[in-house]
Amino acid sequence: VTAEEAAPLFGGIDLGATKILSLVVSRTGSLLAEDIRPSLGAEGRDAVIGRMVASLRECLATVGVDGRQLAAIGVSAPGPVDDAAGVTNPPNLPGWHDVPLASLIGSQLNARCTLENDANAAAFAEHRWGAGRGSRHMLFLTVSSGVGGGIIIDGAIYRGVSGAAGEMGHVTIHENGRRCPCGRRGCLEAYSSGLAIAKQGYRIGRRASGALHARRAAAEPLTAKAIYELATAGDETARRLIADAGRHLGTGLASLINIFDPELIVLGGSLTKMGDLYLGPAQATVQRECSAQARRDVRIVIGELGDRAPALGVATLALETATQTSTL
Ligand SMILES: [Zn+2]
């Protein structure tokens, strides 16, 4: 496919806390180019936006076209987004309150730009191109350092009244429970995320014995990944920490299944790599805590698109919006 045949093109840019991932797809959704570079959020907002634009331009250069073939672009960012205000308050990106990201990026690239929350975008990509293909009602949860989510109903993203729907990491699973990074207590994220596993590992490591204590005493980082490595090496305490986090994930999933009765739950994020140690207790809890009818119908699967999902999701949103409004 030559660049001319592939035009018009659609771009997607995902702004993450640590990296920017951009890509360009054809009108049939084929991936034509991709660029990954660090966000360097400490350099400030304008520098980051400049890097986002440069990243997409690099993709266009790889395809061998200039910006004129770009029909529309989508941008995804962490945290809640708002059509009017733009990015409202993304975690880990200081100074990003109420940034009209879509219009800033769109004007620099001279293309119509839509903005979407990153987990919603990832949910949409998994629905169109990944593990959720062909499903009608689907939930997507990403479990890594935090827990995010997206809701697909009748094949479309469900955004709610204010655009904040799908924040499934912050459903309460324990009244007056552990403190969550969001400032409230007892959220699913405070029990089932990578950060939660690390925090519990650090706490247990205070006791004067065991592998967790040895790591803590040696001032080695007690990340979820490190705890997983201890667990796979056979450390019982580390195994229990991961199983507990999985069990709590199952409690959250069971409530969501009881509410939405989806046909499919797609799980993404780094913690899915922990396999049965984490997901086994989650599945067992879902079996125990779901209503019989919803449990019978739901499948829980791992996402297929990985880190590419948010950018691919917003590029696909841009593509479908343009197609529906027949601007091509
Ligand atoms: Zn929370």
pLDDT tens digits, one per residue of 76-90: 998 888 867 777 677
In the reported structure, the alpha carbon of residue 264 is separated from the centroid of ligand 1 by a whole-number distance in angstroms of 24
The mean per-residue pLDDT over the stretch 64-74 comes to: 91
With b for 16 or more beta-carbon neighbours within 10 A and e for fewer, the 2-30 pattern comes to eeeebebbbbbbbbbeeebbbbbbbeeee
pLDDT of residue 162: 84
- Does 266 have pLDDT greater than 70? yes
In the reported structure, the alpha carbon of residue 141 is separated from the centroid of ligand 1 by a whole-number distance in angstroms of 15
In the reported structure, the alpha carbon of residue 97 is separated from the centroid of ligand 1 by a whole-number distance in angstroms of 19
In the reported structure, the alpha carbon of residue 181 is separated from the centroid of ligand 1 by a whole-number distance in angstroms of 6
Write the DSSP symbol of residue 306: G
In the reported structure, the alpha carbon of residue 147 is separated from the centroid of ligand 1 by a whole-number distance in angstroms of 9
pLDDT tens digits, one per residue of 181-235: 889 999 999 999 999 999 999 999 888 788 999 988 888 888 999 999 999 999 9
In the reported structure, the alpha carbon of residue 199 is separated from the centroid of ligand 1 by a whole-number distance in angstroms of 15
Q: Global pTM? A: 0.93
In the reported structure, the alpha carbon of residue 26 is separated from the centroid of ligand 1 by a whole-number distance in angstroms of 38
Strand partners, 34: 23
The mean per-residue pLDDT over the stretch 28-57 comes to: 94
Counting residues of the chain whose pLDDT is more than 90, the rounded percentage is 75
In the reported structure, the alpha carbon of residue 20 is separated from the centroid of ligand 1 by a whole-number distance in angstroms of 25
Counting residues of the chain whose pLDDT is more than 70, the rounded percentage is 96
